[in-house]
Structure 1
Amino acid sequence: MDYSAIGKHIRAERKRLGLSQEELAEMVNISAVHMSHIETGYTKLSLPVLVDLACALGVRTDDLIFDKDTLGKDELLEEITLELDSCSKEQLLALRQILSSSKEAIQKYLER
């Protein structure tokens, strides 16, 4: 397991939410020093801490362990489905149009 990569994913999610290391550490009941060591890959984190961090950050543990670029088609579809589940009907209609237009533009770009 690449603990340095996991730490980078945790740091990216923490920053996306605008949290400090201290704030996130407090949310999962660990020390700020331990949080820093996790983010730098200096220490291995336990499964319970990983789960607590994922919950606090509002992501799945898989999001912290794996690079999104290495996900297979099924995993990507699952992630997209999870995102869409929380959308309103109006948002889904707009996203359907955006997706259709984007897919068309990508296809034209790839044909060059």
Structure 2
Amino acid sequence: MELDYRAIGKRIKIERIKADLTQEKLAEMSGVSPAHMSNIETGTTRVSLTTMVAIANALGVTLDDLICDNLIHARVQFEQDIADTLSDCDTYEIRMIADMAQALKDTLRKDAHLRSQL
């Protein structure tokens, strides 16, 4: 199995921005160079487990939060992503998103037999 380092980097960047940290500050807190942190966030380099742990600790998140796109069992992280997405929505936006989510779910279940054909 090949890891999706771009997805990992994207999640690190999102968490860094949410923590109001610069790339340079996160690099310093994680014990890596700013250039290496930039490469990690863009997914152009493989990141070691030791560095991933250091980044997660610096950001105050779990490794699951950073690598969930590579995990089969990551329901909790994706549920949190949905909650984060909805957190700043007004009532109208939430209602529309709920309607779209229900329609998408209905379609996915109706066409579930197509999964086995992929």
Same fold (TM over 0.5): yes
CA distance in 2, matches of 1:28, 1:35: 9
Amino acid at match of 2:58: A
CA distance in 1, matches of 2:38, 2:30: 13
Q: Secondary structure at the match of 2:21?
A: coil
TM-score by length of structure 1 reads 0.62
CA distance in 2, matches of 1:58, 1:45: 18
Aligned match of 1:76: 76
TM-score by length of structure 2 reads 0.59
1:49-81 deviations in Å (ceiling 9; x for gaps): 0000000000000110014xx755xx529x88x
Amino acid at match of 1:12: I
Aligned match of 1:41: 43
Aligned residue runs from structure 1 range 56-95, under 5 A: 56-67=58-69, 71=73, 75-76=75-76
Q: Cα RMSD between the aligned structures?
A: 2.8
CA distance in 2, matches of 1:76, 1:16: 19
- Structure 1: 4+ residue segments shifted above 4 A: none
1:14 aligned to which of 13, 16, 35: 16
Deviation of 1:39 after TM superposition, in Å, equals 0.1
CA distance in 2, matches of 1:46, 1:29: 12
Q: How many residue pairs get matched?
A: 82
CA distance in 2, matches of 1:9, 1:71: 17
